[in-house]
């Protein structure tokens, strides 16, 4: 497995150092890990006999990236090296921190994955990715982007406000609609059903659990046993789903801007 190092001397000293390390992990397969350190030049107060310099460079943790490589490792090209150095120069210069194993234990990886998929789904819902008609490639200095603050779009359009109103609801109507969605996903063998519902609807896990508890307490959703995921809509659940026009309710949760 290869490893290597690149650095930036544009400031007259190694202001940025980036190393890469190739690993083969049982569950992830081949991965390349990139570690970025930021160099800080400080006067040391004495001259180094070897170099004659009265300054020292101290390094602090900048960033870490885990890059999936698939069946084989791709080469580290000159373009990638130059781009990574350019990106490193944009890092905050006054940030502090060090790389410890505890850092990764504190990262809510599962929630970050859900948030990532929510952002992608939001772009699809707002037709940000849709290309209609013929495609024309034009030069642009702007990168297509959407900015979220505290989990919400900055634009605060009617669509986003509708999502907000959905986040706090776990009514009987929502309960039967989410129970139906849960039942359908369970039937087709989805493993992480709550996470998938969260991605599909934009609802936090706590709201989904509350809605499912309501559904089970009403006898609308069966249970596979304590601590086990899965369940199906009961005969009573199907009756209530039809009575409350559950499909329209479910559509309004999945696609808030199209709901009535």
pLDDT for 112 equals 74
Question: What is the DSSP pairing of strand 148-149 with strand 152-153?
Answer: antiparallel
Mean pLDDT of 64-71: 90
Per residue in 208-240, is it b (16+ CB within 10 Å) or e — as a string? bebbbebbbebebbbeeeeeeebbbbbeebbeb
| More reliable by pLDDT, 181 or 145 | 181
The pLDDT, as a whole number, for residue 207 is 85
Q: Give the pLDDT score at 135.
A: 46
Give the rounded percent of residues in the chain with a pLDDT score beyond 90: 23
Lowest mean per-residue pLDDT among 160-169, 178-187, 198-207: 160-169
14/96: higher pLDDT: 14
Residue ranges with strand state E in 26-150: 29-43, 55-70, 148-149
> What six digits make up the tokens of 41?
């030049």
Q: What is the mean pLDDT of residues 207-234?
A: 85
**Is residue 227's pLDDT more than 70?**
no
Q: Give the pLDDT of residue 73.
A: 93
Choose among 30, 35, 20: nearest CA to 76: 20
Domain 166-258 has CATH 1.10.1060: no
With b for 16 or more beta-carbon neighbours within 10 A and e for fewer, the 42-71 pattern comes to eeeeeeeeeeeeeeeeeeebbbeeeeeeee
Its pTM surpasses 0.75: no
Instruction: Decide which of 168 and 61 is more confident.
Output: 61
Bridge-based pairing of strands 3-8 and 16-25 is: antiparallel
Q: How do residues 76-93 score in pLDDT, each as one tens digit?
A: 999 999 999 999 998 876
Residue pLDDT, tens place only, 120-168: 666 666 655 555 555 444 445 555 655 565 555 444 444 444 444 444 4
Cα 85 to Cα 4: distance, rounded to the nearest angstrom: 14
């Amino acid at each position: 497995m290869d490893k290597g190092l690149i650095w930036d001397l544009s400031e007259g000293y190694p202001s940025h150092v980036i190393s890469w390390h190739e690993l083969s992990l049982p569950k992830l397969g081949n991965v390349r890990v990139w570690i970025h350190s930021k160099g800080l030049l400080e006067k040391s107060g004495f001259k180094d006999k070897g170099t004659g310099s009265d300054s020292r460079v101290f390094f602090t943790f900048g960033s870490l990236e885990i890059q999936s490589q698939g069946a084989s490792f791709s080469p580290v090209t000159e373009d990638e090296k130059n781009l990574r150095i350019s990106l490193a120069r944009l890092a905050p210069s006054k940030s502090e921190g060090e790389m410890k194993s505890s850092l990764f234990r504190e990262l809510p990886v599962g929630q970050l994955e859900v948030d990532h998929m929510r952002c992608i789904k939001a772009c699809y819902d707002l037709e940000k990715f849709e290309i209609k008609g013929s495609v024309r490639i034009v030069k642009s200095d702007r990168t297509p982007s959407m900015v979220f603050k505290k989990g919400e779009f900055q634009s605060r359009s009617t669509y986003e406000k509708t999502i907000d109103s959905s986040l706090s609801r776990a009514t009987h109507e929502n309960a039967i609609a989410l129970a139906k969605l849960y039942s359908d996903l369970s039937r087709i063998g989805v493993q992480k059903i709550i996470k998938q519902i969260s991605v599909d609807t934009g609802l936090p896990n706590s709201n989904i659990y509350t809605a499912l508890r309501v559904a089970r307490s009403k006898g609308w959703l069966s249970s596979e046993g304590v601590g086990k995921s899965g369940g199906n809509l009961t005969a009573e659940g199907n009756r209530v789903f039809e009575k409350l026009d559950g499909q329209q309710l479910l559509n309004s949760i999945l696609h808030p801007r199209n709901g009535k």
